[in-house]
């Protein structure tokens, strides 16, 4: 039984780490480019060398796929996971499986120059693939600065460094725009927010995760005070902290079911009807180019009374 | 003479069960007053004495709607798992029997997982399907263990534990299969496997708690009614037969009741291990092996044990740990201790 | 009155025949010793009579009614068994164990009456284990435990008592003690007793009748004097023996000898 539980925990980790991360704190992405080629350190702390930018890319993370498209390397993508759905063009790409059990055979047959993975407990198996001549790069940002680094790293690998820097700048610009709006709201008046990533048990994002930071950027006062980037939260803490806005960031339930949970009826968010289940979850839990849009979507739900940030946007 | 004999029995019965009842109540109050959001025993008293003006509304919400259902679930699950352990031990004539070790709980989880993955368990009617299929799963697992373990009319510890390992492996494979074909339901199965009393009840699902509680109470009463026969059965099949018990029918009755109790509990709280082993054993030290005393005593001490284990699980770390982990950490070493210290006749 | 009536009894374990056609009548008040080598079917016969095995062909009647038609509770008031294996996995007290003998008379939620306790106490006094009543059954010596289990059987107030090897694993003093007990139950209470025994001499000294089983059939049945004869025993057990007489009781007494002396005895014949 214990082995089952171990693999189950692994499975849970995988689910949460695919786009959320949570298993490893190590980021340490750094790189240097020289005439001799590209040398970089990936999220597993390994040094990976490229003689020339990768032309054929397999992405085992939907977030990485989105980044690749955003920096103009979409046509280099030759293989993705079954969960990839953005941008729409990705539908035509070869599917190599899910995050944890991709088909090694299919990956090899695609002759990729690089395989981007999210490090999980099954990484060892993937690392073994390096003896088959595959280049593996693990990407695993936990917070926003690490997201920026990861984007630059991906750009470096595919030879689109400049566009990746531009993407980071664009995202930072989107965030600072929001921050300007938020800064006009006094600290004490920021909305108390609970963001629910799953139920049974309740999972939420802490302040050290990019999801939590996104909430903060969007002017939310995250009620979760977790020792880890992501973790469980006891419902009584939610009731005590009395959030004004509840974001349901998982497809399990609908908003009216939240109000029927025992003891939740008196929570301000429920009393005022400020429970949202309509957010595009992928925009906030994938460390990709749409985080800025995700943050704006959060802001709109936190402060519907304030001017729509989209209207100010030049996009 | 008879007066003295009965007085002795009733005195022991009352002493053991009343003190355990007090322990349940005390444990429940303790658990009601402790939690990650800071509340005190005074808050709890305030809520129950109706002095709600002095306590903030969220406090009474937390105590009555979050902690209380959870504690009731702990009582129901603790009682049903521990009484099931008692019955297993009597049926198999072996004090090492326990629904978790023997894979019966896994049977219930496999049943629940099956329903979850195929998405039948939605809606009010669907939610009844999960406990029902859990019940069938635990019943089948139990029959399987029994067939594998029973050799020549006797169930020996070695074959029993081996049968448990085999059935656990088999059901583990079934659960893994279900997990591999599941997508969004995966974490619900994970939740069942880890054992957790934090089931999220809503106004529409709270009746499931009452059903589980009702089944456990009904099961315990029916078992108490047949407790004299359980005594005879724990002497062994032959002795029981010649004491006038129709073993086949009685065993079927017992397996049915126990599956019902385990199915009801496991579909709400998942795999909580070793309760059925530790608690009956510890309770026998208090109450003796007479099932007339043992059954209510085991139910009550199972409740106390799980209330305390869950309070620990809720509060010991900044992040909640599954209660199944707590019981396994206590139960594993205890199981080894039992295995090594039992008299040769037992094993 | 005939208490037990067996006709054409066949029992098979997985196609392997264990009892091959037993016909037997046991009258009220008889003390029948069932003897025979290992695997001759003694225990199986006892288990068939007590209703533990129902998978037999032929007929077994207890007090004129087929064993298949007895309700278990009713049968348990008529017939009690002392099984061969008396190990108990749980720490019941001796009194609790003996009180279980009253199960066939008690219903769920029903408390024991003064009569029940009275019966139990007499059974325990008779077997001299009343003073052990508060001890755990697992703390007792082999002989004490055997007496307690007999007391449990007696608490069922049976007319017929079946015993499967009641004296194996016991010291000789306890062996005699147990058989003394059975003899007085037989003579004083008129109880019908069937006892499987390995010990031919004990059986011969106490039983009114002996039945010798061999390979699933009745080899011979009769008084101890008729059964414990050299040619009969040698035929069944395939070992030379000397039959003497117990000087005290006058019952036949069987003596064994080492193999190297076999020729010597043969020569003497």
Nearest to A4 among B37, B176, B204 (CB): B176
Q: Is residue B38 part of a domain?
A: yes
Per-residue pLDDT of B51-61, as tens digits, reads 655 678 888 88
**How many residues belong to chain C?**
269
Question: Is the CB of residue B103 less than 8 Å from the CB of residue B145?
Answer: yes
Distance between CA atoms of residues C46 and C51, nearest Å: 9
C158 touches chain B (CB under 8 A): no
Of the candidates A35, A27, A60, A36, the residue with the CA atom closest to the CA atom of residue A153: A27
Residue in chain B closest to A13 (alpha carbons) equals: B187
Contact A4 B184 (CB under 8 A): no
pTM of the predicted structure, to 2 decimals? 0.86
Give the pLDDT confidence score for residue A10 in this predicted structure.
45
Contact flag C87-B225 (C-beta cutoff 8 Å): no
Q: Residues A14, A48: one domain?
A: yes
Asked if residue C11 lies in contact with residue C41, where contact means CB atoms within 8 angstroms, the answer is: yes
CA distance A223 to chain B (A): 12
Separation of alpha carbons A54 and A112, rounded Å: 8
CB-based contact (8 Å) between B238 and chain C?
Answer: yes
Chain B contact present for A10, CB below 8 A: no
Kindly state whether residue A207 falls inside one of the protein's structural domains.
yes
Looking at residue B85, its pLDDT comes to: 94
| Minimal C-alpha gap between A307 and chain B (Å) | 33
CA of B102 vs chain A CAs: smallest distance (Å): 11
Check CB contact under 8 Å for A200 and B198: yes
Angle (CA) B107 B251 B289, round 5°: 95
Residue ranges with strand state E in C165-251? 192-196, 209-214, 217-222, 242-245
Please choose, from the candidates C241, C211, C239, the residue with its C-alpha nearest in 3D space to the C-alpha of residue C226. Answer: C211
C-alpha B81/C-alpha B261 separation (Å) is 8
**Rounded Cα–Cα distance for residues C57 and B248 (Å):** 20
Residues of the domain holding A266:
184-311
Q: Which chain B residues are Cβ-neighbours of A237 within 8 angstroms?
A: 36-37
- Same domain, yes or no: A228 and A283: yes
E-assigned strand segments in C55-110: 56-62, 65-66, 79-82
What CATH number has the domain bearing residue A217?
Answer: 3.40.50.1980
Question: Closest chain B residue to A227 measured between Cα atoms?
Answer: B318
Domain residues for B315? 2-340
Contact A182, A220 (CB under 8 A): no
Is residue A45 domain-shared with residue A111, that is, in the same domain? Answer: yes
How high is the pLDDT of residue C85?
Answer: 81
Comparing B121 with C156, which gets the higher pLDDT?
A: C156
Query: Does A155 share its domain with A18?
Result: yes
The beta-carbon neighbor of B319 closest among A199, A231, A257 is: A231
Chain B residues with beta carbon closer than 8 angstroms to that of C122: none
CA separation for the pair C6, C22 (Å, rounded): 7
B238 → closest Cβ in C83, C90, C109:
C83
Minimal CA separation from B33 to chain C, in Å: 38
Over range C193-204, report the average pLDDT.
Answer: 93
The domain total for chain A is 2
- pLDDT tens string for chain A (315 positions)? 444 444 444 444 444 444 443 333 344 445 555 555 788 888 888 888 888 899 999 999 999 999 999 999 999 999 999 889 989 999 999 998 877 677 888 888 999 999 998 876 455 666 667 777 788 898 999 999 999 999 999 999 999 999 999 999 999 999 999 999 999 999 889 999 999 998 878 899 999 999 999 999 999 999 998 888 998 899 999 999 999 999 999 887 888 889 999 999 999 999 999 999 999 999 999 999 999 999 999 999 999 988 666 655 444
* Nearest chain A CA: its distance from B181 CA (Å): 12
Asked if residue A107 lies in contact with residue A96, where contact means CB atoms within 8 angstroms, the answer is yes
Which residue in chain A is spatially nearest to B174 when comparing CA positions? A4
The predicted structure's pLDDT at residue B347: 35
Cβ contacts of C80 on chain B, cutoff 8 Å: 242
Furthest-apart CA atoms within chain C: distance in Å: 70
Is the residue at B194 inside a domain? yes
Backbone torsion region of residue C95, taken as left when φ is above 0, otherwise alpha when ψ lies between -120 and 50, otherwise beta: alpha
What are the pLDDT digits (tens) for C172-184? 888 998 999 999 9
The list of chain B residues with pLDDT below 70 reads 1, 51-54, 121-126, 152-155, 157, 183-184, 342-347
Phi/psi of residue A95, each to 5°? Answer: -95, 130
Q: Could you tell me if residue B57 is inside a domain? A: yes
Helix (H, G, I), strand (E, B) or coil at C62: strand
What are the phi and psi torsion angles at C135 (to 5°)? -80, 155
- Residues A124, A205 within the same domain: no
Provide DSSP, chain A. Answer: -HHHHHHHHHHHHHHHHHHT--S------EEEEETTEEEEE-TTS-EEEESS--SSEEESSHHHHHHHHHTT-GGGEEEE-TT---SGGGGGSEE---SSS--HHHHHHT--SEEEE---TTHHHHHHGGGGT--EEE----SHHHHHHHHHHHHHHHT-HHHHHHHHHHHHHHHHHHHHHHHTS-GGGSEEEEEEEETTTTEEE-TTSHHHHHHHHTTEEE----SSSEEE--HHHHHHH--SEEEE-STT--HHHHHHBTT-TTSHHHHTT-EE--S-HHHHHS-STTHHHHHHHHHHHH-TTSPPHHHH---
Contacts with A202 (C-beta within 8 Å, 6 or more apart), sequence order: A196, A232, A233, A234, A235, A238, B200
pLDDT for C94: 95
| Window 152-181 of A, Cβ < 8 Å to B | none
What does the pLDDT read at residue C88? Answer: 83
Residue A179 inside a domain? The answer is: no
pLDDT at B232: 93
Residue A299, in any domain of the structure: yes
Residue B221 counted as domain residue: yes
How close B171 gets to chain A, by Cα (Å)?
Answer: 9
Query: How far is it, in rounded angstroms, from Cα A54 to Cα A56?
Result: 6
Query: Does residue A170 sit within a domain?
Result: no
CA B213, chain centre distance (Å) = 11
pLDDT of res. B342? 62
Domain count for chain B, please give it.
1
**Contact between residue B291 and residue B90 where contact means Cβ atoms under 8 Å apart:** yes
Per DSSP, the three-state class of B230 is helix
| Alpha-carbon span C16 to A228, nearest angstrom | 68
C contacts of B222 (beta carbons < 8 Å): none
Any domain includes B204: yes
> Are A8 and B196 an interchain contact pair (Cβ–Cβ within 8 Å)?
no
Chain B residues in contact with C81 (beta carbon < 8 A): 238, 242
Do residue A8 and residue B58 have CB atoms under 8 angstroms apart? no
Q: CA C42, CA C35: separation in Å to the nearest integer? A: 7
Report which secondary-structure segment, H or E, holds C16: strand C16-27
Q: Is B201–A236 a contact, with Cβ atoms under 8 angstroms apart?
A: no
A207 & A243 share domain: yes
Same domain, yes or no, for A55 and A126?
A: yes
Whether residues A130 and A194 share a domain: the answer is no
Quote the tokens at residue B194.
């880890």
CA atoms within 13 A on the CB side of B96: 25
Token pair listed for C78: 């008529």
Q: Check residue A306 and give its pLDDT.
A: 83
DSSP code at position B35: S
| Cβ pair B37:A237 closer than 8 A | yes
CATH number of the domain where residue B293 is located: 1.10.3470.10
Query: In the structure, do chain B and chain A come into contact, i.e. share 3 or more CB pairs under 8 Å?
Result: yes
Q: Are residues A22 and A129 in the same domain?
A: yes
Per-residue pLDDT, A314? 43
């Amino acid at each position: 039984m214990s082995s089952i539980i171990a693999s189950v925990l692994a499975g849970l980790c995988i689910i949460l780490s695919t786009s959320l991360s949570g298993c490893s704190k190590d980021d340490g992405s750094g790189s240097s480019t020289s005439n001799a080629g590209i040398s970089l350190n990936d999220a597993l702390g390994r040094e990976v060398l490229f003689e020339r930018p990768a032309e054929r890319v397999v992405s085992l993370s939907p977030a990485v796929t989105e980044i690749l498209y955003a920096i103009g390397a979409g046509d280099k993508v030759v293989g993705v996971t079954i969960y990839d759905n953005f941008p729409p063009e990705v539908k035509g790409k070869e599917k190599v499986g899910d995050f944890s059990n991709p088909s090694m055979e299919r990956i090899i047959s695609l002759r990729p120059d690089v395989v981007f993975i999210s490090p999980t407990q099954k990484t060892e198996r993937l690392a073994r693939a390096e003896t088959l001549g595959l280049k593996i790069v693990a990407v695993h940002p936990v917070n926003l600065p690490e997201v920026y680094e990861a984007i630059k790293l991906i750009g470096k690998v595919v030879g689109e460094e400049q566009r990746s820097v531009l993407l980071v700048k664009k995202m930072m610009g989107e965030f600072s725009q929001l921050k300007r709006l938020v800064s006009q709201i006094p600290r004490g008046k920021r909305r108390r927010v609970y963001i629910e990533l799953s139920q049974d048990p309740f999972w939420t994002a802490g302040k050290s995760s990019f999801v939590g930071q996104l909430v903060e950027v969007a002017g939310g006062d995250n009620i979760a005070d977790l020792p880890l980037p992501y973790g469980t939260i006891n419902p009584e803490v939610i009731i005590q902290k009395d959030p004004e806005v509840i974001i349901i960031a998982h497809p399990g339930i609908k908003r009216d079911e939240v109000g029927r949970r025992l003891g939740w009826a008196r929570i301000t968010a429920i009393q005022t009807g400020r429970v949202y289940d309509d957010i595009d979850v992928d925009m906030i839990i994938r460390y990709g180019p749409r985080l800025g849009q995700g943050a704006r979507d959060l802001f709109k739900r936190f402060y519907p009374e304030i001017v729509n940030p989209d209207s100010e946007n030049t996009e | 003479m008879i007066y003295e004999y009965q007085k002795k029995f009733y005195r022991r019965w009352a002493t053991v069960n009343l003190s355990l009842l007090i322990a349940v109540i005390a444990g429940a109050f303790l658990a009601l007053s402790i939690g990650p959001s800071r509340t005190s025993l005074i808050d709890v008293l305030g809520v129950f004495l109706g002095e709600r003006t002095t306590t903030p509304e969220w406090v009474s919400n937390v105590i009555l709607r979050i902690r209380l259902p959870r504690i009731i679930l702990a009582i129901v699950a603790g009682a049903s798992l521990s009484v099931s352990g008692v019955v297993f031990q009597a049926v198999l004539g072996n004090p090492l029997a326990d629904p978790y070790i023997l894979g019966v709980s896994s049977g219930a989880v496999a049943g629940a997982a099956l329903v979850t993955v195929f998405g039948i368990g939605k809606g009010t009617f669907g939610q009844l399907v999960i406990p029902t299929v859990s019940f069938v799963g635990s019943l089948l697992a139990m029959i399987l263990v029994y067939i594998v373990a029973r050799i020549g009319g006797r169930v020996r510890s070695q074959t029993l534990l081996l049968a448990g390992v085999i059935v656990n492996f088999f059901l583990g494979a079934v659960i893994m299969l279900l997990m591999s074909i599941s997508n969004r339901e995966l974490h619900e199965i994970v939740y069942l496997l880890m054992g957790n009393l934090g089931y999220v009840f809503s106004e529409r699902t709270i009746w499931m708690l009452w059903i589980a509680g009702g089944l456990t109470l009904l099961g315990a009463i029916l078992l108490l009614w047949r407790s004299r026969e359980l005594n005879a059965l724990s002497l062994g099949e032959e002795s029981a037969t010649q004491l006038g018990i129709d073993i086949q029918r009685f065993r079927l009755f017992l397996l049915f009741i126990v599956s019902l109790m385990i199915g009801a509990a496991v579909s709400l709280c998942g795999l909580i291990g070793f309760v059925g082993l530790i608690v009956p054993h510890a309770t026998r030290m208090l109450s003796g092996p007479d099932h007339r005393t043992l059954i209510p005593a085991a139910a009550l001490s199972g409740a106390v044990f799980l209330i305390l284990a869950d309070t620990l699980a809720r509060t010991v770390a900044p992040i909640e740990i599954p209660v199944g982990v707590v019981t396994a950490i206590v139960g594993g070493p205890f199981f080894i201790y039992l295995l090594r210290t039992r008299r040769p006749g037992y094993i | 009155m005939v208490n037990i009536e067996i006709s054409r009894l066949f029992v098979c374990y997985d196609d392997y025949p264990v009892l091959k056609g037993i016909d037997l009548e046991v009258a009220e008040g008889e003390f029948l010793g069932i003897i025979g080598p290992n695997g001759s079917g003694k225990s199986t016969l006892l288990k068939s009579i007590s209703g533990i095995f129902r998978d037999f062909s032929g007929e077994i009647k207890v007090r004129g009614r087929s064993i298949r038609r007895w309700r278990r509770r009713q049968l348990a008031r008529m017939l009690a068994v002392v099984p061969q294996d008396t190990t108990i996995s749980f720490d019941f007290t001796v009194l609790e164990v003996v009180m279980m003998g009253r199960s066939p008379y008690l219903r769920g939620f029903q408390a024991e009456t003064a009569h029940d306790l009275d019966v139990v106490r007499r059974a325990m006094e008779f077997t001299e284990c009343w003073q052990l009543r508060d001890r755990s059954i697992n703390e007792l010596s082999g002989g004490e435990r055997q007496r307690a289990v007999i007391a449990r059987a007696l608490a069922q107030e049976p007319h017929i008592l079946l015993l499967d090897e009641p004296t194996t694993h016991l010291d000789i003093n306890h062996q005699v003690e147990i058989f003394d007990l059975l003899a007085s139950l037989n003579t004083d209470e008129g109880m019908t007793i069937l006892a499987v025994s390995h010990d031919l001499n004990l059986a011969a000294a106490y039983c009114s009748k002996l039945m010798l089983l061999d390979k699933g059939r009745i080899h011979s049945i009769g008084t101890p004097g008729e059964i414990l004869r050299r040619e009969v025993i040698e035929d069944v057990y395939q070992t030379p023996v000397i039959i003497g007489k117990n000087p005290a009781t006058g019952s036949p007494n069987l003596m064994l000898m080492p193999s190297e002396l076999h020729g010597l005895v043969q020569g003497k014949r």
